[in-house]
Structure 1
Amino acid sequence: MVMMKLVWIVIWMLSFIHLKVGIAQQLTVLPSKSYLQTSDGKPFIWIGDTAWELFHKLNREEVDHYLTMRQKQGFTVIYAVILAEHEGLTVPNAYGEVPLRGQNPATPNLRYFEHVDYVINKAQSLGLRLAVLPTWGNHVPNARDGKRSYIFTPKNAYQYGNFLSDRYQDKPIIWILGGDRNVDDNQAKYIWDRLAEGLQQRNDDKQLISYHPAGESSSAYWFHKSTWLDFNMYQTGHARRSMPGYQYAEAHRLLDPKKPFLDAEPAYEDIPIKFWEYLSKRPAEELIGSVFDTSGIILDRDYFDAGFFTDKDVRQQAYWGLLSGAMGFSYGNNAVWQFVDAGKKCVIPSLYTWREALTRPGAEQIKHLRFAMENWHFPDLFSDQSLIYGVNRPGTSHIRAATNADMSCVCVYTPVSQVIVLNLPLSADTIYKVSWFDPRNGGIQQEEKILSGGPVEFIPPAALDDCLLILELKK
Structure 2
Amino acid sequence: MAIIKSVWITICMLIVVHVQVGSAQQLVVAPSKNYVQTPEGKPFIWIGDTAWELFHKLNREEVDHYLTVRMKQGFTVIYTVILAEHEGLTLPNAYGEVPLYRQDPAKPNLRYFEHVDYVINKAQSLGLRLAILPTWGNNVQNARDGKRSYIFTPKNAYQYGHFLGDRYKDKPIIWVLGGDRNVDNDQARLIWDKLAEGVRAGNDAKQLISYHPAGESSSAYWFHKSTWLDFNMYQTGHARRSIPGYQYAEAHRLLDPQKAFLDAEPAYEDIPIKFWEYLSKRSPEELIGSVFDTSGIIINRDYFEAGFFTDKDVRQQAYWGLLSGAMGFSYGNNAVWQFVGTGKKWVIPSLYTWQEALTRPGAEQIKHLRFFMERWGFSTRIPDQSLIYGINRHGTSHIRAATNADKSCVCVYTPVNQVIVLNLSLSADTVYKVSWFDPRHGEIQHGEKVVSNGPVEFNPPAAMDDCLLILELKK
TM-score under structure 1 length normalisation: 0.95
Q: Counterpart in 2 of 1:284?
A: 284
Deviations 1:27-84 (A, max 9, x none): 1111110010101110000000010000000000000000000000000000000000
* Structure 1 portions without partners, runs of 5+: 1-21
Residues 368-447 of structure 1 aligned to structure 2 (within 5 Å): 368-447=368-447
Q: Contact 1:47–1:331 at 8 Å: present in 2 too?
A: yes
Quick one: which amino acid aligns to residue 221 of structure 2?
Answer: Y
Contact in 2 for aligned 1:429/1:452 (Cα 8 Å): no
Instruction: Report the alpha carbon displacement of residue 396 of structure 1 after superposing the two structures with TM.
Output: 0.2
Aligned counterpart, 1:62: 62
Q: How big is the alpha-carbon RMSD for the aligned residues of Structure 1 and Structure 2?
A: 0.8
Superposed structure 1 runs of 4+ greater than 4 Å apart: none
Counterpart residue number, 1:338: 338
Displacement of 1:23: 5.0
Alpha-carbon distance between aligned partners in 1 of 2:333 and 2:383, rounded to the nearest angstrom = 28
Partner secondary structure for residue 119 of structure 2? helix
For the pair 1:242 / 2:242, whether they are aligned, the reply is: yes
Question: Distance in 1 between the 2:173 and 2:206 partners?
Answer: 9
Does 2:168 correspond to 1:168? Answer: yes
Corresponding position of 2:99:
99
- Letter of the aligned partner of 1:188 in structure 2? A
Preserved contact between residue 294 and residue 345 of structure 1 (Cα < 8 Å)? no
**Residues 101-127 of structure 1: CA distance to partner in whole angstroms, max 9, x if unpaired?**
000000000000000000000000000
Output one character per residue of 1:416-471: Cα deviation in whole Å (capped at 9) or x when no partner: 00000000132224221111000001000013413233100000011000001100
Measured in 1, the distance between the counterparts of 2:256 and 2:25 equals 28
Other structure's SS at 2:450 match? strand
Give the whole-Å Cα distance in 1 for the aligned partners of 2:178 and 2:60.
26
Determine if contact 1:429/1:450 at 8 Å carries over to the other structure.
no
Per the alignment, residue 150 of structure 2 pairs with: 150
CA distance in 1, matches of 2:468, 2:369: 11
Deviations 1:72-98 (A, max 9, x none): 000000000000000000000000000
Report how far residue 351 of structure 1 moved.
Answer: 0.2
Q: How does 1:49-448 map to 2 (within 5 A)?
A: 49-448=49-448
Q: State the 1:322 CA deviation.
A: 0.3
Three-state SS of the structure 1 residue aligned to 2:55 is helix
SS of equivalent to 2:201? coil
Q: Which has the higher mean CA deviation after the structures are superposed, 138-147 or 23-32?
A: 23-32
1:138-183, Cα deviation, whole Å (9 max, x unpaired) = 0000000000000000000000000001100100000000000000
* AA at the equivalent of 1:415: P
Single out whichever of 444-453 and 318-327 deviates more from structure 2. Answer: 444-453
The superposition leaves residues 180-236 of structure 1 with CA deviations (integer Å, 9 ceiling, x where unpaired) of 000011100000000000000132332100000000000000000000000000000
Work out the CA distance in 2 between the residues paired with 1:264 and 1:427: 41
Question: 2: distance between equivalents of 1:221 and 1:260?
Answer: 15
Partner of 1:4: none
Distance 1:450 1:213 in 2: 44
Number of residue pairs matched? Answer: 454
Offset of residue 315 of structure 1: 0.1
Counterparts of 2:397 and 2:106, CA distance in 1 = 51
State the partner residue of 2:470.
470
Matched, 1:30 2:30: yes
TM-score, length basis structure 2 = 0.95
Corresponding letter in the other structure for 1:404: N
Does the Cα contact within 8 Å between 2:421 and 2:455 map onto a contact in 1?
A: yes
The residue aligned with 1:449 is 449
SS of 1:155's partner is helix
- Structure 1 residues 56-65 or 195-204, which shifts more? 195-204
CA distance in 2, matches of 1:473, 1:205: 42
Q: What secondary structure, in the 3-state scheme, does the structure 2 residue paired with 1:234 have? A: strand
RCO higher in 1 or 2 (8 Å CA, sep ≥ 6)? 2
Q: What's the offset of the Cα at 1:344?
A: 2.1
Closer, same or farther: CA 54–43 of 1 in aligned 2, 3 Å: same
Matched letter for residue 101 of structure 1: Y
SS class of match (1:330): strand
Check conservation: 2:23, 2:127, Cα contact below 8 A.
Answer: no
**C-alpha deviation, 1:26, in angstroms:** 1.4
In the alignment, the residues of structure 1 paired with residue 89 and residue 205 of structure 2 have an alpha-carbon distance, to the nearest angstrom, of 30
CA offsets 1:297-318 (integer angstroms, 9 cap, x no match) = 0000000010000000000000
CA distance in 2, matches of 1:72, 1:34: 27
Tell me by how many angstroms 1:383 deviates.
0.3
In 1, Cα distance between equivalents of 2:293 and 2:341: 11
CA distance in 2, matches of 1:262, 1:227: 18
Quick check: 1:160–1:195 contact (8 Å CA) kept in 2? yes
Q: Which amino acid aligns with 1:107?
A: K
Letter in 1 for 2:225: K
State the AA in 2 paired with 1:102. R
Any idea what SS the aligned residue of 1:319 has?
helix
